[in-house]
Structure 1
Amino acid sequence: MADAAIEAGQRYEDQVLALLPRHGGRVERRLRTDDAGTEVHVIRFDDRAGYEGFLVDPQRVALRAELGDAAPHTQVLEVHEV
């Protein structure tokens, strides 16, 4: 998250993560660095369609657009248990 927008970024994350259940998703872990500039989320979806639906959820898209350049940078890593 941008230094000048950490609080806004955290609010955005709170709001967006609350949308997960409507797409069969859930947060398994939410971690934040000491400087609050980075968050890591371990999330799980019931199926791929839920994940894809979450990405295009109109409320999620609107929230991200509302933040503009202050929106957190997102990097997705698809992983599996070993």
Structure 2
Amino acid sequence: MTNDIEIELCCFLWAHEGEALSLSAYEDRVLALVPAHGGEVIRRAVSDGSNGRPHEVQLYRFPNQTALDAYLADPARLALANDRDQAIARTELFPVSLR
């Protein structure tokens, strides 16, 4: 990926047993940081997580890799790592093309 290409991502998140509300609360906090890095949360969808489905699905975009890297390295986001570890069992993040 070159730095001038817009990045569109999908993220699947699974909560630890009994932590679905904590997962959403954590995501509320960290996703609020996305716009400060030029990114946009396009959509969040929440499920009950039954039958192995993710508890939350997110779509977002960043203008380039530098912006995404800055979000991932944001000290406010990193300070919440313990909250993340307590709430989130598994994450799958992958690039997509939004239409």
- TM > 0.5 between the two? yes
Match in the other structure for 1:2: 16
Q: Which runs of 5+ in 2 are unaligned?
A: 1-14
Match in the other structure for 2:92: 75
**Contact 2:16–2:87 (Cα < 8 Å) also in 1:** yes
Question: Offset of 1:66 from its aligned partner?
Answer: 3.5
Among candidates 61, 74, 77, match of residue 78 of structure 2: 61
Q: Which runs of 5+ in 1 are unaligned?
A: none
Question: Offset of 1:5 from its aligned partner?
Answer: 1.3
Match in the other structure for 2:45: 31
Q: Could you state the TM-score of these two structures normalised by the residue count of structure 2?
A: 0.70
Among candidates 49, 52, 55, match of residue 69 of structure 2: 52
Consecutive aligned runs of 4 or more in structure 1 exceeding 6 Å deviation: none
CA distance in 1, matches of 2:89, 2:25: 11
User: Which structure carries more strand by proportion?
Assistant: 2
User: Which structure carries more helix by proportion?
Assistant: 1
**Contact 1:64–1:71 (Cα < 8 Å) also in 2:** no
Q: CA RMSD in A?
A: 1.9
Identity value in percent: 35
CA distance in 2, matches of 1:74, 1:68: 11
Structure showing greater relative contact order (alpha-carbon pairs closer than 8 Å, 6 or more residues apart)? 2
